[in-house]
């Protein structure tokens, strides 16, 4: 799509203070711009990489690459990649050359959420997570923790540069923001809402509907059933233990469902995927600081971070034997109760197995 004429500042010159100008200025000598994100990219990271690639291609005419770190297994995310024809290069197959510029999107260095090697110097980090990363020495950093989505930040860059958005890109950016703001209470800033209003008329409503309603495999329902059967309530906290996650993203789907239970303020899912314990947290409490809470709970066991009401993390498992997993679950439960100032108590099931079997047989 064509680029519109840029807004002018004093004396007809483009203002050098705009963040998008500074971002682009540092890429003028780059031969290729490669975008990387966190493991198992979600809609916010996918849309953000697409938006920044479009920005760089349109304004600078540079070659760009979008990468994929790990699998994309959630049904909606796979549908987004397929329906929007997003070309993703597995990060482990990328060859780096002199003149390459690397931009990390929706993540930060040394947070344990990506597999980018330390030998790859970053030009820029563009993110919205409240996750302390190592940003020292990076030429361009734009981390806005007050935003609900990185796609909102990227949309502001495109608006600043007056770049027309094709429906495919507008759809990706809109869906990326929508997924980040879908919980309650919403974690949104005025910039998030203005970006949604700007993008909605430009997005394909048919593609949005198809992505939102992606078909689900049988393993999804089996996991949800197991999660319900293994959900225990401790005062205002519910913890769901899933011994085998078909895909890591399902932990987030479980807590998105459980946080709607009227009697709790916190929902946690801990599920085993390969040799890791995947953690996902949601809170309905005000000023919950979920990311900070989960970092405190995980400590040196692994990595964690997030926002005020949404958080996630991983804990490497030295063994995936039943006894080792039970021991880790016990330690994690103890730490969660302590962090949330809940007295040590015996949890009671959300749904009893007997009652569930009776309902299934009815």
CATH number at residue 174: 3.90.1640.10
Boundary (domain end) residue, out of 160, 184, 212? 212
Assess whether 250 and 163 both reside in one domain.
no
Assess whether 346 and 254 both reside in one domain.
yes
Assess whether 253 and 170 both reside in one domain.
no
**CATH code (residue 293):** 3.10.310.40
Boundary (domain end) residue, out of 149, 179, 212? 212
Assess whether 341 and 193 both reside in one domain.
no
Which residues span the domain enclosing 45? 10-212
Q: Does 5 fall in a domain?
A: no
Q: Does 4 fall in a domain?
A: no
Assess whether 207 and 154 both reside in one domain.
yes
Boundary (domain end) residue, out of 177, 212, 247? 212
Assess whether 205 and 258 both reside in one domain.
no
**Biggest CA-to-CA distance, the chain:** 77
Q: How far does the chain reach from its first CA to its final CA, in angstroms?
A: 57
Assess whether 355 and 239 both reside in one domain.
yes
Q: Does 230 fall in a domain?
A: yes
CB 255 within 8 A of CB 240: yes
Assess whether 337 and 245 both reside in one domain.
yes
Per-residue pLDDT of the chain (362 residues; tens, 9 = 90+): 444 333 333 333 444 579 999 999 999 999 999 999 998 899 999 999 999 999 999 999 999 999 999 889 899 999 999 999 999 999 999 988 889 999 999 998 887 677 776 667 899 999 998 776 788 889 999 999 889 999 999 999 999 999 999 999 999 999 999 999 887 667 789 999 999 999 999 999 999 999 999 999 999 999 999 999 999 999 999 999 999 999 998 999 999 999 999 999 999 999 999 999 999 999 999 889 898 999 999 999 998 888 888 899 999 999 999 999 999 999 999 999 999 999 988 899 998 766 655 555 55
Nearest-5° angle of CA 354, CA 359, CA 246? 80
> Which pairing describes strands 32-36 and 100-105: parallel, antiparallel, or unpaired?
parallel
CB 231 within 8 A of CB 240: yes
Work out how many domains the chain is built from and give that number.
2
Q: Does 248 fall in a domain?
A: yes
Q: Does 109 fall in a domain?
A: yes
Three-state secondary-structure class, residue 140: strand
Question: Which residue in 84, 88, 40, 82 sits closest to 64, CA to CA?
Answer: 88
Assess whether 51 and 175 both reside in one domain.
yes
d(CA 60, CA 45): 22
Assess whether 37 and 165 both reside in one domain.
yes
Assess whether 196 and 49 both reside in one domain.
yes
Kindly state the tokens that stand for 185: 């209470």
Q: Does 2 fall in a domain?
A: no
Assess whether 206 and 275 both reside in one domain.
no
Q: Does 262 fall in a domain?
A: yes
Tell me the chain's radius of gyration from C-alpha atoms.
Answer: 21
Q: Does 328 fall in a domain?
A: yes
Query: 281: which strand partners?
Result: 268, 311
């Amino acid at each position: 799509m064509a680029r519109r004429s840029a807004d002018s500042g004093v004396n007809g010159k483009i203002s050098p203070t705009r963040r998008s100008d500074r971002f682009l200025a540092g890429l003028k000598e780059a031969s290729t711009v490669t975008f990387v994100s966190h493991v198992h990219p979600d809609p916010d990271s996918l849309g953000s990489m697409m938006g920044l690639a479009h920005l760089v291609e349109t304004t600078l005419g540079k070659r760009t690459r979008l990468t994929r770190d790990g699998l994309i297994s959630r049904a909606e995310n796979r549908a987004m990649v397929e329906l929007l024809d997003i070309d993703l290069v597995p990060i482990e197959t990328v060859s780096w050359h002199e003149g390459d510029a690397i931009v990390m999107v929706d993540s930060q260095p040394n947070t344990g959420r990506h597999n980018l090697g330390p030998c790859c110097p970053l030009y820029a980090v563009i993110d919205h997570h409240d996750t302390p990363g190592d940003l020292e020495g990076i030429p361009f950093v734009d981390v806005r923790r007050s935003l609900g989505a990185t796609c909102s930040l990227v949309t502001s860059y495109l608006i600043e540069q007056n770049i027309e958005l094709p429906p495919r890109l507008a759809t990706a950016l809109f869906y990326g923001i929508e997924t980040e703001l879908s919980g309650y209470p919403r974690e949104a800033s005025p910039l998030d809402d203005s970006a949604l209003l700007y993008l909605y008329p430009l997005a394909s409503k048919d593609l949005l509907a198809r992505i939102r309603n992606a078909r689900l495999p049988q393993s999804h329902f089996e996991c949800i059933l197991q999660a319900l059967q293994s959900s225990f309530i401790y005062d205002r906290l519910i913890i769901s233990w899933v011994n085998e996650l078909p895909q890591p993203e399902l932990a987030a789907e479980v807590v998105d469902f459980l946080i709607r239970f009227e009697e709790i303020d916190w929902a946690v899912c801990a599920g085993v995927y390969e040799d890791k314990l995947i953690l996902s947290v949601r809170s309905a409490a005000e000023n919950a600081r979920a990311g900070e809470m989960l970092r405190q709970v995980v400590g040196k066991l692994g990595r964690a971070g997030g926002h005020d009401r949404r958080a996630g993390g991983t804990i490497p498992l030295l063994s995936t034997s039943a006894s080792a997993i039970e021991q880790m679950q016990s330690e994690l439960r103890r730490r969660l109760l302590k962090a949330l100032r809940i007295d040590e108590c015996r949890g009671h099931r959300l749904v009893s197995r007997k009652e569930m079997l009776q309902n299934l047989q009815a």
